[in-house]
Structure 1
Amino acid sequence: MANYIQEIRRLVGHRPIILNAAGAILVNSQKEVLLNLRTDTHNWSLPGGYLEYGETFEQACIREYKEDAGIDVEIVQSLGIFDQGFTTYPNGDEAQVISKLYLVKQVGGQALQEATNETLDLKYFPFDQLPPLLNQQNADMLAVGKAYLF
């Protein structure tokens, strides 16, 4: 069922809803983390996104990483579930996002070279020099990733 969230939003409008998402940490050889600059909020987040109806967290993670970053990934390790992700988007949509975080490795593809409808830019950052993030949940996930890797 494609565009599940759009269908739900047509029914409930901007009312707060609970959504499930998957995100991932991919690091380069310098142990810097890849982040994407979002088109909707113009700040940075881990590549990832909402599950479509019938998808698993793992499937969503792999699909969203390809969509957001152009990179094919393989799941290495689950790093936890984060259930305190409250976001109000510029269009007024409100959501509590329950996210499952993974450590992934690149197995194909290449980083997007041009902006898309979801990603303006991709860049690796040191864990101690992060740009403005989408929300506290992204900060919490990056802190867990840093603790796991270092």
Structure 2
Amino acid sequence: MNYIQSLRKVIGTKPIIAPGSAVIVLNEQNEILLQLRSDTNDWGIPGGGMEIGDSLEETARKELFEETGLEAQDLELLDIASGKEFYYQFPHGDEIYNVTAVFKAMKVTGTLMGNEESLELGYFPLDSLPELNGTTEKLLKRIGYVKD
């Protein structure tokens, strides 16, 4: 059971502050890696919640590997996003206020493959993205990868 699941057993669906990391991976064609998330059934960048004892960078590396099969050789911190703008309510009712460290993977190795968290994985041109989940869209706009 992960940290958030442990909290949820005590507080139910009430809002929590959820620290985590997200990772932007670009291929040689400057296309961004997106995942069709199984928990929300929408497109987003790989990432997830921090576990007790982990750093934000460890969280980024772990989530990228778990969700895509890729390993980041180097990470660059692009931004830390937080506040009311990053409130999210999951389809099942859980409420969170995200505090997300956004990293860019400078070099990745491994074989792209999903798991139960990723229904589909693919690279998309930045000017032709599928419909993104609200959090990903806000993050990408905030760091200048997507225009309003």
- Same fold by TM-score greater than 0.5: yes
Match of 1:46 in 2: 45
Match of 1:34 in 2: 33
Q: How many residues were matched structurally?
A: 143
Paired with 1:31 and 1:81, the residues of 2 have a C-alpha distance of 22
Q: Is this contact kept in 2: 1:25–1:145, CA < 8 A?
A: no
Q: Specify the SS of the correspondent of 1:123.
A: strand
Correspondences of 1:6-45 after superposition (within 5 Å): 6-45=5-44
Q: Is this contact kept in 2: 1:37–1:122, CA < 8 A?
A: yes
| Distance apart, 1:74 and its partner CA | 2.6
Q: Is this contact kept in 1: 2:42–2:133, CA < 8 A?
A: yes
Question: Where does structure 1 lack aligned partners over 5 or more consecutive residues?
Answer: none
Q: Call closer, same or farther: CA 1:65–1:22 in 2, change over 3 Å.
A: same
| Distance apart, 1:145 and its partner CA | 5.2
Match of 1:75 in 2: 74
Q: Is this contact kept in 1: 2:74–2:107, CA < 8 A?
A: no
Paired with 2:106 and 2:41, the residues of 1 have a C-alpha distance of 26
TM-score (normalised: structure 2): 0.90
| Distance apart, 1:106 and its partner CA | 3.7
Write the letter of the residue equivalent to 1:41: T
Correspondences of 1:48-63 after superposition (within 5 Å): 48-63=47-62
1:121 maps to 2:114: no
Superposed structure 1 runs of 4+ greater than 6 Å apart: none
TM-score (normalised: structure 1): 0.89
Paired with 1:68 and 1:116, the residues of 2 have a C-alpha distance of 6
Match of 2:92 in 1: 91
